[in-house]
Amino acid sequence: MRLLLLGVGRLKAGPERELSARYLERAAAAARTARLTGFESREIDESRARRPEDRKADEAKALAAIIPPGALVMALDERGRSISSQMFADEIGRCRDGGAPALALVIGGPDGLDEAFRAGARWTLAFGAMTWPHQLVRVMAAEQIYRAITILAGHPYHRV
């Protein structure tokens, strides 16, 4: 199974981009040890539409266009449920073991995700009840993906 991290907006040069890249490189290098066929991170441009609803609809359409056929979707949204790192790894493992071709973890832009897109996701997850800047969410998602891969691979990175 391929694991994808998809985000709206481009991370600019700086500490968030560097830290995200570090975790994503580690995740890509460790993917095979967790019996994942690959890992990929992609960004799409933010919509230039004037109204937030139109921006979110444009971004949802662009995200849907890059999600592979048959992929399961995990949407990150502040209204989602919070789960532990172990539960996150377990969900990824169940998708992998269930034969899903891909799992896409999707991060919306500053306006969030389109309601219809979010409703079509298999899971909606949150990194707690607080609202986070999408640049930091990208870093936290990258770290949690790396952590989940190490949990699945039996690597000692995750300590309980």
- Each residue of 99-134: pLDDT tens digit? 999 999 999 998 999 999 999 999 999 998 888 888
Residue ranges of domains in the chain: 2-153
Alpha carbons within 13 angstroms on the beta-carbon side of residue 18 total 3
Per-residue tokens: 146: 């790396």
For the domain covering 2-153, report its CATH number.
3.40.1280.10
Instruction: Supply the pLDDT for residue 63.
Output: 98
What are the contacts of 98-101 at 24+ separation with CB within 8 A? Answer: 99/1, 100/1, 100/70, 100/71, 100/72, 101/1, 101/2, 101/68, 101/69, 101/70, 101/71
